[in-house]
Amino acid sequence: MSTGRHSVRSITIGTRTGLVLGAAIAIPALVSAMPVSAANATVTAGYSATIGGPGHAAMYPSGMEIAPNGNIIVADTGNDQVAEYLPNGTLVWRVGSEGNAAPCGANPAGFPQFEQPRDVGVDSSGNVYVADNGNGRILKLNGTNGKCLVKPFKMPGGGAPIGVTVNTTPAGQLVYVANGTKSQVIVFNTTGAVVQTISSNGICTLNRMRDATADATGNVYVANYESNDILVFNASGTCLTKYGTKGKNSTGGVCNGNGTGTFANPYGIAIGTDPFIKGGTPGEAVYVADSNDDCLQEFSTTSGGVLTWVANIGGPGTDAQTGTFTQLRRVAVDSSGNVWGADLWGYRVVEFTRSSTGYAYGQTIPNPIVPPGNTDTSVFNQVRGISFDAAGDVVAMDSVNQRVDTF
């Protein structure tokens, strides 16, 4: 789900998984950022385009990624297809049909068959990697036309890939695959050779993990959903550390995980650039979407994987215009260091702007909130994924409305 570029996307392990590029950072001193009045917020995002949805071609997306050329790649799970679109919604190509044949093996220049493709990743050349869940394999496609490039990547020991991403590491571009049924992360090179298998070891026990991200040294950070902690593995798959314990669900509009080292089912995780984290200069940080505490948490980290709490961002609540969440799922960081949360049952995405003193509520999309429905005007109904295109526009995956929206 991320490209060979320096990305802020992440993948999901358990329902949909991926990894993101980053680097080691120093420890800052920042204040917590709770919701503030919407009176000071300036809404700058406006509707741009819809891909799929009611009244359009039916789509049942589970994963998406932004290619280096700014186009949007979608894993259309329900239709057993993969498609590429321009940012304005124009179709570039759509390939695939339901089946378990391996034309990528018999005919690498042919078109693929899928069985519930769940996610996509893109490398720096624009090649597309598809998590073909039902067939237990990764397919590598030509980003120009969607045709197969090489034989399928098979999961060592079996399993079902549910998330995929491509990261640039010191060893070159690597393909990270969430093997959901085996509770593993399989690392391939771009030709399909297995480089590493990451599984439970030491004090790190993978337990219905939902998301993961990797830094530039190859350390991998996992949102361990069921065990309420963050696991950190090195590039060789060895457990470095486990951070956090079970906390409380959100109550009273206050983040319970306020620097206490607790989580309530962490769901999303990403690495992005915080412009003020290194004594007022930019550096990398780890961001966690703590789903049942409805708070975003930011951490600094070291080369040894040690996490140090930096700030809370947002908080639980039902007021859509003050930076609150009702069932947080994903987190992403834009090129300015602003932090975005995807609120599944709040039917919105929320931005928090970064300054030298912390975070403040920025804007809500849509504003005002439009309740879910079966028309194009419903805007969101369970937004599950969020990213940014080459122009910095917000791209959101709207699962129940069966579409992708750009703002």
Chunked mean pLDDT (size 10), the chain, 407 residues: 36 34 26 36 45 51 80 84 82 88 65 87 94 92 92 90 83 85 88 91 89 82 92 92 87 73 89 88 91 91 89 82 80 87 74 90 72 57 65 68 66
pTM of the predicted model as reported, rounded to 2 decimal places = 0.76
The two tokens of residue 134 are 């039902």
| Per-residue model confidence (pLDDT) at position 347 | 67
Question: What residues contact residue 25 under an 8 Å CB cut-off, 6+ apart?
Answer: 274, 277, 278, 283, 284, 285, 300, 301
How far is residue 240 from each of residues 26, 30, 174, 266, 308, measured CA to CA in Å? 18, 26, 21, 19, 15
| Per-residue model confidence (pLDDT) at position 108 | 63
Give 65-94 as a DSSP string: EE-TTS-EEEEEGGGTEEEEE-TTS-EEEE
Task: Report the SS3 class of residue 6.
Answer: coil
Between CA 105 and CA 140 the distance in angstroms is 11
